[in-house]
Amino acid sequence: MSNYENNLKNYNYRILTEQINNRSNELDIKSTNEIVNIFSESDKEPQKAVENAIPEIVSAIDEITFRLKSKGRLFYIGTGTSGRLGVLDASECPPTFCTNPDLVQGIIAGGIPSLTRSSESLEDVDDIAIADLKDRNFSNRDVLIGITASGRTPYVLGALNYSKSLKALTISISSVPETDSTLDNDIDIRLITGPEILAGSTRLKAGTATKMALNIISTSVMIKLGKVYGNRMIDLSVSNDKLMNRALGILFDIGSVDKETAVQLLKKTNGSVKLSLLIALSGMDVIEAKQLLDDSKGNLRTALFTVKGE
């Protein structure tokens, strides 16, 4: 039976993300104020969806951190909006946390062109997803987060099945209950946001909830990898005026040094805020501090505990 025939057969059953939202009936004849209020009320649901998935999100963070500490990598894979959200989150990690671009990668069906032009026809081809993972040498050391709002996208399901066959850590993010789609993965994150304001347009509530979850996951993993001290992004390298001002602020607040000293420290460390902080707080020279950071696996707090016992 073809996909078209199968779709016709199942037309009377609509999964949650395709159902009609009664709150937005006759949306086209409502006033601008009414439309905006409908959106405002509906956009409270993604927060609740994320809150309901906290146990699974916590498990994902801890397991991903373990894999990345063991030389693994994190991959997001999806189509359409889901794919774009994964690529966005992955592309933010190098500038925010000074990570190697290979550490967190986003894969979208159709590649880079699909970021601006849709490639719906590729969503139904699972073999392409497997080829995309093989092109990146995806292995059992790595982590795959498959993002599919409907829980049914063949491209994503193919990637998830391939990941499971390798015994890589396999995580799914969807916006439908198990009655709509069964996803047998290591961690199954369900962000249930209900029917969309525009029926089936999962770039809305489902997309918002997914963006929130990815923010939480990647940021929390980076915290656990030692990229953060307190609530500051310390694993950054100064490459423009904005980052210079941020770096100086961090050294003022945490390192308790004046501007001139902060500038000199950044020069000595080639713009490394983390290394500059360790020198400021420990009194060590650059070589000693760098060796200690390496021994502490890049964790500033661990390094300081070694020096000061605090």
- Which are the catalytic amino acids? 92, 123
Find tokens 């779709």 and name the residue. 7
310: buried, middle or exposed (CB in 10 Å: 19+, 13-18, 0-12)?
exposed
Asked if 18 contacts 199 with a C-beta cutoff of 8 angstroms, the reply is yes
Pairing between β-strand 143-147 and β-strand 74-78 as defined by DSSP bridges: parallel
